[in-house]
Amino acid sequence: MGESGIAEKLVEVLHRPDGDRALRPVHTIGIGATGYFKPSPIARNFCIAQHFREKRTNVSVRFSNGSGAATAHDGWSDVRGLAVRFHLSDGSDTDLIAMTLPEFFSPTPEDFLNFAEGAKPKPYKGETPWQKIFNLLQVILPKRDPYPGETISPDEGAIEFADQNPHAQLAVLDAAEIGAPVSYVRESYHAVHTFVVTGADKTRRWVRFSWQPIAGVLKTNPNLPPVDDYLRQELKGRLASEPARFSLMMAVGEVGDDFNNSSRPWPPHRKRIMMGTLTVNAVPEDQIEHSEKLSFNPGLLTEGIETSEDPVLKIRIDSYKISSERRSATPCPFSQG
């Protein structure tokens, strides 16, 4: 299968039976917001991209639930997304797409296709209390009970895949216990892939970006019944009284780190540079324009930031274009040339 064949197949396989083909196949429920980014005083030494050199850059962001379900299940355990578009002063844009999972499931597009096929949601198979005790005695983790109204689950297939494919185990385990945040701005988000940045002295560095919430990470209590739809309202209410902020951290890779495989984390003691602060301060009324119609792309980059050779990062560039065309979103500026 050629590259574009896989990119297309990936979009197809990500659609869930409870999704809506007119919407995104994943990260379907979300909310658009606006704000600005201010670089730290040292950021420009490490990356010459415009938004690290200029005082302040306006941004459009979209927070999302990772699931492809077309109805909000905010209180369910799920990965969340934060896509940021920096509106540069020369009129161009650059995107940074991140999620709450610190690593990805697969090192290659082919492997992710197998994973996504294996993890296609299946009818929820519950376990009796006896089965749970029996499993615990054998040190098999008991399965989570379905949430009220949850009939299909991707966990079953994902766990089976991870049993056969050790590289997927870290992400599958992290995803299985990720929980639900009290707010979209009380999560940390990771861009996961390696990018190559050029510094003021032309030094090129292999780096990974993540957003850390200034307010700290806070999850809901998993023992309380989940609330279906609260995150969008919470964000509107919060921003009406105060802005929310995130620090942009950049970990610098070293010889021996895996630059082209986002399923492998780097050692936690890698040097991290504080690159700037994102302030999110408004939720526009028109959510069709500022959320539904938006299309982000991990390949929409600007001078000073390049993709690494990570094949998953490369295939995403095509998959996001295909998905955006299918749902008739406003083409990402990158697709137009």
Of the pair 48, 64, the CB lying nearest ligand HEM is at: 64
Q: How far is the CB of 290 from ligand HEM (least distance, A)?
A: 11
Of the pair 272, 327, the CB lying nearest ligand HEM is at: 327
Q: Are 174 and 101 in contact (CB under 8 A)?
A: yes
Q: Can you tell me the distance from the alpha carbon of 238 to that of 218, in angstroms, rounded to the nearest whole number?
A: 15
Instruction: Tell me if 319 contacts ligand HEM by CB under 6 A.
Output: yes
Instruction: Tell me if 321 contacts ligand HEM by CB under 6 A.
Output: no
Q: Can you tell me the distance from the alpha carbon of 304 to that of 17, in angstroms, rounded to the nearest whole number?
A: 41
Structure tokens at 88: 């540069």
**Between residue 5 and residue 24, which ones bind ligand HEM under the rule CB under 6 A?**
10-11, 14, 24
Instruction: Tell me if 250 contacts ligand HEM by CB under 6 A.
Output: no
The binder of ligand HEM chosen from 36, 72, 316, 317 (CB under 6 A): 316
Using CA of residue 84, residue 244, residue 52, residue 103, what is the dihedral sign?
A: negative
* Interface with ligand HEM: number of residues (CB under 6 A): 32
Residues 6+ apart with CB under 8 A from 157: 118, 119, 120, 121, 122
Length of the chain: 337
Q: How far is the CB of 3 from ligand HEM (least distance, A)?
A: 12
Which run of H or of E encompasses 113?
helix 109-118
Instruction: Tell me if 323 contacts ligand HEM by CB under 6 A.
Output: yes
Instruction: Tell me if 259 contacts ligand HEM by CB under 6 A.
Output: no
- Region binding ligand HEM by CB under 6 A among candidate stretches 39-47, 91-99, 152-160, 272-280: 91-99
> x/- string (CB under 6 A) for ligand HEM, residues 262-301?
--------------------------------xxx-----
Distances from the Cα of 112 to the Cα of 98, 105, 319, 320, angstroms:
18, 7, 13, 15
Q: Are 188 and 100 in contact (CB under 8 A)?
A: yes
Of the pair 132, 293, the CB lying nearest ligand HEM is at: 293
Residues 6+ apart with CB under 8 A from 175: 79, 101, 105, 158
Residue 195: strand, helix, or coil: strand
Which residues sit at the interface with ligand HEM, rule CB under 6 A? 10-11, 14, 24-27, 30, 62, 64, 81, 83, 97-99, 104, 109, 112, 191-192, 294-296, 312, 315-316, 319-320, 323-324, 327, 329
